[in-house]
Amino acid sequence: MQFDLAPLSLTDHATDLMVMVLHKDEGAPFATEWFDRVVASGDFAGKAGDALTINAPAGMAAARCLLVGLGETDKVSAKTLDKAAKAIAEAAVKKGIQTATLAPQGALDKAFSRQLGLHLALAQYQYTETFGTKELPPASTLARVELSGELDAAQHGYTIGQGANFTRELGNLPGNTCTPTYLAGQVHTLKHDKLSVEVLDEAAMETLGMGSLLSVGRGSVEPSQLAVMRFNNGGDEAPIALVGKGITFDTGGISIKPGAAMDEMKYDMCGAATVLGAMKAVIELDLPLNIVAVIACAENMPAGNATKPGDIVTSMSGQTIEVLNTDAEGRLVLCDALTYVKQDNPACIVDMATLTGACIIALGHHNTGLLSNNDALADELLASAADAMDGAWRLPISDDYDKQLDSNFADMANIGGRDAGTITAACFLSRFVGDTPWAHLDIAGTAWVSGKNKGASGRPVPMLVNWLQSRAQ
């Protein structure tokens, strides 16, 4: 995608789509008589969320016009601008459009331009990998967007969107393609002279004592993997640690899930895919940061040798775990990954996982659940989530909840009962980070969309990259 400055005179400027973003109480910057007739017809009122694609007026060089409403001038908000950016992006990627031009507007600031770039990338994404003979919609031809300013912000947003699309593509792949080996191998697709990668196999993890992680994949013919990325682009600063759950398919193991919607358990690796998508954007943006990023990849299957309810496993930290439910497997791979990144003495740790159905009950599909042992880190992430329009909501953790993990036979159980399931899962993870500032993102409700539009969402890549950029400033 190329972002360029729009010419000062647009009435005779040839473009496939001329975009006018307008408040309810203002007129068009040109072609005013034509615009007044459109308004009089009732087809466009300028309300927030209004969008109308229409033939350009006679004498104008543009092929078509897109009118996008912002509502009342004094009521414009970041959410309104984000909706406008999404409407523009969805119209601009329609068939045959190669160039889109935005008429200059004072309200279209840096944040708007970033969101426009983001939504342009997201709107261009189309999954094609596993289709055979089915005829697919034509791919977007959009190659050039002209703006009155903030080109860097637009390109920045587009880069984040490409990272999110990488996450979406990995999430949408079926489990028989995106195996633990395939997912871990994606670290080799990321290129930067300050990036080093390695993939640990089961023998290496056995040597490190990762009995908890290895217990999850024991029933699968697919070997478990731990992939590590070290991005050393920040001088002598302590690294930021990112950890992602990469369960490439989750049957629940011996505690097997119901059959309905089990196909969606291919998305149980979206935490790892988020780490990969964020790292892709970080590398493209060349952020001056040190990051150690780890994805724990396994497949959770039932088998004669699979871990059983009541089994006790020993984690890399030396702590023992009574596995009361094999469908609470994400925390079992994450705890060893958290212990592993602790060896790098990180400044902070952020893990992300499609961890609990309880998070969907609590927050629905709107907000990512955020739990943390550090108020400052939690506040940073929440602020970045709000700025990126990628919502998150903080839930509490405390000793009262942690007691639910008590076990009569091990240092802890892997579940704490029905009550506060998202919170007790985070309490479990907190036992492996010590005093290091840490935050856990439960993305079970935000990582993918079900129903007719089923597919990975790419969230929370925008929030995560926005936060990393704030750390780089």
Supply the residues annotated as catalytic: 257, 331
What residues have CB less than 8 Å from 310, skipping those under 6 apart? Answer: 322, 323, 324
Instruction: Give CA angle at 317 (239, 299), nearest 5°.
Output: 85
Give how far the C-alpha of residue 362 lies from the chain's centroid of Cα atoms, to the nearest Å: 20
Cβ atoms of 268 and 247 closer than 8 Å: yes
- d(C-alpha 211, C-alpha 218), whole Å: 10
CB-hemisphere CA count at 13 Å for 385? 21
The end-to-end CA distance of the chain, in Å, is 26
- d(C-alpha 342, C-alpha 128), whole Å: 39
- d(C-alpha 139, C-alpha 93), whole Å: 8
Backbone angles phi, psi at 387, to 5 degrees: -65, -35
3-state class (DSSP) for residue 368? strand
CB-hemisphere CA count at 13 Å for 449? 10
Q: What is the DSSP letter of 129?
A: T
Largest interatomic CA distance in the chain: 82
